[in-house]
Structure 1
């Protein structure tokens, strides 16, 4: 019989790379493009897993912090749900 650890229940479904991406956004190290298929940049470099970045946006864990033209970079922010997923 297995039990669920409360610390891991909040991040169910997130892989280690997605958790690292969330930590980078939470740390203020990320930018995101404004588009229907947003791209995430960490420390000025494009993220290697844009599919996961887009999943984080679609599931409401990260979001752009400002409105801008299509394709423009703005700061990325973590949502309350994203903070919950990190267990913060």
Structure 2
């Protein structure tokens, strides 16, 4: 079960990574420890990306084949952590 989070328990790097995913252009690999790519480049802190995925704050937009890059999105919990409005 994903860990519930709010903005106060995110460090600066986690918040910045969530903001980058929210801005668009992020991809995540389909795997149990997904890697994150921002604008086509590997995220410099994969440990943070793994933490955000395990906590249920970022996720693939759809299920891909193992190892495939798919668009990354903020989950409802990720949007709440950043206070991003939910799209209707």
Q: Give the TM-score normalised by the residue count of structure 1.
A: 0.84
SS of residue in 2 equivalent to 1:12: helix
2:69 aligned partner: 73
CA distance in 1, matches of 2:35, 2:6: 25
Are 1:17 and 2:13 counterparts?
yes
Structure 1: runs of 5+ lacking an equivalent: 1-8
The residue correspondences of 1:1-88 to structure 2 (distance < 5 A) are 10-88=6-84
Name which one, 1 or 2, has greater alpha-carbon Rg. 1
Q: Give the TM-score normalised by the residue count of structure 2.
A: 0.84
Structure 2: runs of 5+ lacking an equivalent: none
SS of residue in 2 equivalent to 1:68: coil
SS of residue in 2 equivalent to 1:21: helix
Superposition misfits of 4+ residues, deviation over 3 angstroms: none
CA distance in 2, matches of 1:13, 1:38: 22
